Amino acid sequence: MIRTLFALFCSAAIFAGHCSTSQADQRDTLDILFLGDGGHHQPALRFRELAPPMANRGIELTYTDDVNSLNVETLAHYDGLIVYANIDRISPEQESALLNFVASGRGFIPIHCASYCFLNSDKYVELVGAQFQRHTTGTFRTEVVRPDHPIMQGFHAFESWDETYTHHRHNADRTVLEVRVDGEQREPWTWVRQHGKGRIFYTAWGHDSRTWGNPGFHNLIERGIRWATQGDPAIAGTYTDQPAMTEIGEDAAKFDYVEAEIVNYPANEKWGTIGKPLNQMQKPLTPAESATHVSIPVGFDLELVASEPEIGGKPICMNWDDRGRLWVCETVDYPNELQRPGEGRDRIRICEDTDGDGR
């Protein structure tokens, strides 16, 4: 039995792009230096896109475009180093500082164009695990080939537009986690390796905002950072990309309209601007008719849990609590009829399964 006065269509599962775990609140803060440059990949902008979600996860990023930051004194302040740059040359002193930093047990996280950085250093190419060779572009989804690796456990590949990197000068001493499949080509895409006591995580993802703004990319980078800094990637939480959805069929119930005068608030910089009233209102559909307009994940079914006359008013906001109850904000005639103070008609209702029958 359901203790509610709200109509709800409920599928068998709720999908979320990014689900965090309770461990996230128990983690220590990680300090990561982010080395960029002034190049066309716009590392400073990419940093600004990545820093907030990482900060929310307890990972503090510090940006620099000064290659001279690759020195023993500066690196000693950080748990790991991200490189996202196309800097042509690295000095012997900088190379030594980087290699020793990683060998001492710190994390190295080269991203995307970092595989075509420091072109004068064979040791850097060996450290990264390969070197960029060429690319085209496209929208694609990678294939996880090592689901048993700690970084990949609970991670499901995402789709994004990006540059389709092809690498060369591959280091055999690495573990490939993801590949980009193009016909018969299976290009290594995300991999890990070790150098001394340190760990390296590389991914070819990351040309522009289409990837850097993707929650799947955030989850992958957090996993890579945590693993590279000797932590637990599971703290990042599971990630599942949006599933394939059903399409609304041509046989969906048709809408009928009645004459009405509806307040119209057009987009405007000034709050409260009222436009010409709308003169048609859609007539209500039955629950069964409404269901024909719902798109759900492929393979799932809809089940009617509750409907009118159990509810009243119009649901305008809803959310779930940790007990599995659905809280619903209902309004009678918002925003048309303003009631006198103390005489409001809107309600908050709680939709709760009290006997475990799913209704």
Contact 326, 320 (CB under 8 A): yes
Q: Enter the pTM of the model.
A: 0.68
pLDDT for the residue 308 = 76
Q: Do 158 and 255 share a domain, yes or no?
A: no
pLDDT for the residue 335 = 67
Domain count for the chain, please give it: 2
Chain segment 258-269, per-residue pLDDT in tens: 998 888 888 877
Chain segment 54-102, per-residue pLDDT in tens: 999 999 999 999 999 999 999 999 999 999 999 999 999 999 999 999 9
pLDDT at 154 over 90: yes
DSSP calls for 8-47:
EEE-S----SEE--GGGGGPPPEEEEEE--SSTT-HHHHH
Q: In the predicted model, what is the mean pLDDT of residues 195-200? A: 98
Q: What percent of the chain has pLDDT over 90?
A: 68
| Domain assignment of residue 118, yes or no | yes
Q: Give the pLDDT band (50/70/90) at residue 9.
A: very low
pLDDT for the residue 237 = 95
Structural domain for 276, as ranges: 250-294
Q: Do 186 and 50 share a domain, yes or no?
A: yes
pLDDT at 20 over 70: no
Residue type, 220: L
| Domain assignment of residue 71, yes or no | yes
Q: Give the pLDDT band (50/70/90) at residue 255.
A: very high
| Domain assignment of residue 276, yes or no | yes
Chain segment 213-223, per-residue pLDDT in tens: 999 999 999 99
pLDDT for the residue 357 = 81
pLDDT at 235 over 90: yes
Q: 27: which residues sit within 8 A by CB, 6+ positions away?
A: 57, 58, 231, 235
Q: Give the lowest-confidence range in 35-39, 191-195, 272-276.
A: 272-276
Per the model's pLDDT, the better-predicted residue between 328 and 230 turns out to be 230
Q: Do 93 and 132 share a domain, yes or no?
A: yes
Q: Do 260 and 223 share a domain, yes or no?
A: no
Among the candidates 239, 273, 306, a domain finishes at 239
Q: Do 202 and 69 share a domain, yes or no?
A: yes
pLDDT at 159 over 80: yes
pLDDT at 276 over 90: no
Chain segment 124-153, per-residue pLDDT in tens: 999 999 999 999 999 999 999 999 999 999
pLDDT at 351 over 70: yes
Contact 232, 69 (CB under 8 A): no
Mean pLDDT of the chain: 89
